[in-house]
């Protein structure tokens, strides 16, 4: 998760105003999950990068606290959910899947499980890398073009899709990621 991907999430939340139960598929990094959870609590949310004592900190800002805050449900190995299996429980009102799908050996299965765990009409915010160095070895399998990402979600309608450059350390590839919004039919 990078500052740019969190800014894209903020833009998604401001545009679509999701509510209810929000699933964060692969929501695993403690810092990332905390920031996402905070973002859900504000109207017109934004995020700013800052350095405090040489540590990167993402500062969440919003115009006002929401009256009804969506509930946040991280679904990941770390909290006992195997996304290769059907996701149990009540379907979710919206979903977030940030930089998850490149790390699964079976992206078609995981994408189907994600689709099936959402209510009809639910929105799904997805980010995946298109150009990015291999990371988290072992377990970094794929990169996706916009067409590839759409192919993983045949039960969903694509509402938006774009490719953006991300910040790249000098010695690494020029990082590029896809940001897309799908809606369960």
Partner 1 sequence: MTNTSINEFKNFLDNYALGPKNEDIDVADYGGNEELGSTSIKQILSLYGINKYTILDFSTGFDLRNPIPGKKFDFGICMDLLEHVSNPFIVSKNIKDNLNKGALLYVTVPWVWPVHGDPEKYFDYWRFAPDGLKELFNDMEEVVMYGSRDSYVPDEEVPKEAFAPDPPYMRLIGVFRKI
- The contact set with partner 1 (CB under 8 A) reads 102, 105, 108, 130-131, 134, 137-148, 151, 163, 173-174, 176
Rounded least distance, CB 158 to partner 1, Å: 14
Torsion-angle region of 29 (φ positive above 0: left; ψ -120 to 50: alpha; else: beta): beta
Please, which residue, 89 or 154, has the CB nearer to partner 1?
154
Please, which residue, 91 or 148, has the CB nearer to partner 1?
148
Rounded least distance, CB 29 to partner 1, Å: 20
Please, which residue, 59 or 173, has the CB nearer to partner 1?
173
Please, which residue, 121 or 139, has the CB nearer to partner 1?
139
Q: Which residues does 117 contact at the CB level (< 8 Å), separation at least 6?
A: 23, 75, 86, 87, 89, 91, 92, 95
Q: For residue 69, give both structure tokens.
A: 């805050």
Rounded least distance, CB 146 to partner 1, Å: 8
Please, which residue, 68 or 147, has the CB nearer to partner 1?
147
Cite the DSSP H helix spans in 27-106.
Answer: 30-39
Q: Is 86 exposed, middle or buried (0-12, 13-18, 19+ CB in 10 A)?
A: exposed
| Three-state DSSP state, 163 | strand
Rounded least distance, CB 120 to partner 1, Å: 25
Rounded least distance, CB 112 to partner 1, Å: 12
Residue 51 CB coordination number (10 Å): 8
What are the beta bridge partners of residue 61?
46
Q: For residue 177, give both structure tokens.
A: 């990621």
């Amino acid at each position: 998760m990078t500052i740019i991907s969190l800014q894209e999430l903020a833009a998604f939340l401001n545009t679509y105003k999701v509510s209810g139960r929000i699933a964060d598929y692969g929501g695993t990094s403690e810092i990332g999950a905390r920031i996402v959870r905070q973002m859900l609590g504000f109207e017109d949310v934004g995020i700013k990068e800052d350095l405090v004592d040489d540590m990167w900190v993402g500062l969440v800002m919003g115009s006002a606290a929401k009256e009804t805050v969506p509930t946040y449900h991280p679904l990941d190995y770390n909290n006992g959910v195997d996304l290769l299996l059907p996701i149990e429980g009540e379907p979710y009102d919206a979903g977030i899947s940030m930089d998850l799908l490149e790390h699964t050996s079976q992206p078609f299965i995981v994408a189907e499980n994600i689709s099936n765990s959402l209510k009809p009409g639910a929105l799904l915010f997805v980010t995946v890398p298109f150009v990015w160095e291999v990371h988290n070895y072992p377990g970094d399998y794929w990169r996706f073009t916009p067409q590839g990402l759409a192919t993983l979600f045949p039960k969903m309608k694509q509402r938006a899709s774009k490719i953006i450059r991300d910040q790249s350390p000098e010695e690494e590839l020029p990082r590029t990621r896809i940001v897309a919004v799908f809606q369960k039919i």
